Structure 1
């Protein structure tokens, strides 16, 4: 995430701000320019100080304090590049629903910031019914016998349980699932990983290359999850995976690794914006020295990201512990996990070379596929 400042008074701003607290200017995010801009009224429209040649209006969800993104005045769209992907939102006449949905939109907009920075394709279902992306944000029904809302991905539709925006509920789920980390933005980054497995791996002709790194995805998905929940992760999971859940199935390994890649890149970008660096005095050598002097969204190779991330995450974890908070990044990256991150890096940047197909891989590729029994979660 970039660091933003008001074009009128130079006040530092958060991505979600809609008013500058110093000069009072209305603020709006211009996705085409990837900037948060101070605005001047122009009748019923707004002129951006960052791009004054274009007139804008706010996304229709601004009326619910759920979005601060702008839409060009000449566009036929009422919703911004992020909100137009929403298919279902909760009943906003219920106060808790509105508050929880606003939290969800903050996380979703941050994810869309990354998708736009990477220039990843994200058509709506209206633009592409077969390969488009959509979101359902669903509240539980009051009937105790009604089916539970399950967060997951199914053919471009990402469903998120509204209850995940409730801090107490999400923490309860985190403890019950034995997870060290569970956040709204983590959900989005994980589920969008499933979407891009479909788009970039399956539809992009990279199945063999992906299977060479993550394993054969054609094993029964429903049975794999049942086995995972019944038996847990193998004892040596940290030697090969980014998380315990990643061990359940190659699809989940890919989605978890994708999420971690977005975690790393976006955190490094804000570290760069603040000029953060590490050079601990007690370290004997320079192995814990780090300076993010490059654009993480345009990094040449995964090593450039990891060399900065490992020392920085150690420093951030130490700062959190000083405040009595859990580790910001409670994970250990083994070399196999870094190799998987490298695959994601190459895939995102369109530089993935064809995999070397061994005879065993070729035989696996010819095996009949086993259809999953449930939507990917």
Structure 2
């Protein structure tokens, strides 16, 4: 099984089989399913324990992600027995994130790591995007950004991420491939990503 035990992450071996993973991705209505994604999701559960539950941040986290004291197994059962809310994209990065606040946090944590890791790779290679579109204020970057992991602000990360993913999605479409990044970051999702960003930076500052 895929899961975690106090920071020890276990990944189901079938997830390494491309055909099996794709079958499960389609059956579960997921946009995105990777081994790395599973790892980042499960480590998100562990860091919820360490940085939220054990660090006195439960109330601030609940204000963003909801009340995690609700029965977890019952919440999962409801999720699997019923379709997700029609408007789930307004507040959640995935439909699975709607199942319980713990899963919402883990899904958002994993998504944040996807973003900063990809941006850090682009940053390391000196890749910047200056899109030529009718309204530059909606999609722009202003020169090289700072290190996404350590110094870039949340707004800098978002300002760099949107044009980068738009460009790579367009490159994939030119090759007849699926979108590299099939997500839309709504204001509700950005609020949760900003919480994760602040949580990590606050922890970095305590070192």
TM-score range, shorter chain: over 0.9
SS at match of 2:11: strand
> C-alpha root-mean-square deviation of aligned residues, in Å?
1.6
Match of 2:145 in 1: 293
Structure number with greater Rg is 1
Which of 324, 333, 345 is matched with 2:176 structurally?
324
For 2:72 and 2:147, the matched residues in 1 are separated by 37
Give the deviation of 1:262 after TM superposition: 0.4
Query: Could you say which structure has the higher strand fraction?
Result: 1
Match of 1:282 in 2: 133
Which of 292, 301, 310 is matched with 2:162 structurally?
310
Deviates most, 249-258 or 228-237: 228-237
Match of 2:26 in 1: 175
SS at match of 1:298: coil
Match of 1:199 in 2: 50
Match of 1:267 in 2: 118
Q: Map of 1:124-139 to 2, 5 A cutoff?
A: none
Structure 2, unmatched stretches of 5+, are: none
Give the deviation of 1:282 after TM superposition: 3.3
Q: Map of 1:1-377 to 2, 5 A cutoff?
A: 150-290=1-141, 291-350=143-202
Per the normalisation by structure 2, the TM-score is: 0.92
For 2:61 and 2:167, the matched residues in 1 are separated by 33
Give the deviation of 1:214 after TM superposition: 0.4
For 1:168 and 1:198, the matched residues in 2 are separated by 33
**Cα displacement string for residues 32-84 of structure 1 (whole angstroms, at most 9, x for unaligned residues):** xxxxxxxxxxxxxxxxxxxxxxxxxxxxxxxxxxxxxxxxxxxxxxxxxxxxx
Larger relative contact order (CA 8 Å, sep ≥ 6):
2
- Tell me if structure 2 keeps the 8 A contact 1:301–1:342: no
Give the deviation of 1:233 after TM superposition: 1.4
Give the deviation of 1:227 after TM superposition: 0.8
Pairs aligned (count): 203
- Residues 326 and 292 of structure 1: CA distance in aligned 2, closer, same or farther (over 3 Å): farther
Give the deviation of 1:292 after TM superposition: 4.1
Give the deviation of 1:285 after TM superposition: 2.5
- Tell me if structure 2 keeps the 8 A contact 1:278–1:311: yes
Per the normalisation by structure 1, the TM-score is: 0.52
Give the deviation of 1:157 after TM superposition: 3.3
- Tell me if structure 1 keeps the 8 A contact 2:91–2:186: yes
SS at match of 1:153: strand
**Cα displacement string for residues 222-270 of structure 1 (whole angstroms, at most 9, x for unaligned residues):** 1111111111210001111111111110000000000011001011111
Where do 4+ consecutive residues of structure 1 move more than 4 Å?
Answer: none
SS at match of 1:178: coil
Give the deviation of 1:271 after TM superposition: 1.0
Structure 1, unmatched stretches of 5+, are: 1-149, 353-377
Query: Could you say which structure has the higher helix fraction?
Result: 2
